[in-house]
Amino acid sequence: MGTKELEHRLDDLIHEISEIKKQLFLEKLSKRKNCTDKMKRWKALGAEISLKWRGPSAVEEIRLQREKS
C-alpha cells in the first residue's frame, strides 16, 4: 500500500471521526433541550398549583409538623 493510499484512508478516518463528533454533540444538545423543556413545564405546573393552593404555607406546615413532635 502506497503513501497516497494511506493518506487517503487517514483522511477518510478523520472525516468519519468528525462526523461522529458532530452527531454526539447534536445528541447531547437534544438531551439538554428536552431537559430544559421538562424543567419549564415542571415550574409552570408548580406555579399553577401554587395559585390554586388553599392550605397552609410551607413555612406554616413545617411549624405545625414540629409542634406535633
What is the per-residue pLDDT across 17-37, written as a single tens digit (0 to 9) for each?
999 999 999 888 888 888 888
CB distance 56 to 64 below 8 Å: yes
The count of domains in the chain is: 1
| pTM score | 0.51
Q: Which domain holds residue 7?
A: 3-68
Rounded to the nearest 5 degrees, what angle is found at the Cα of 28, between the Cα atoms of 26 and 33?
A: 90
Give the whole-angstrom CA distance, residue 3 versus residue 20. Answer: 26
Q: Give tens-digit pLDDT for 33-67.
A: 888 888 889 999 989 988 888 888 888 888 888 88
Residue at grid coordinates 452527531 = 23
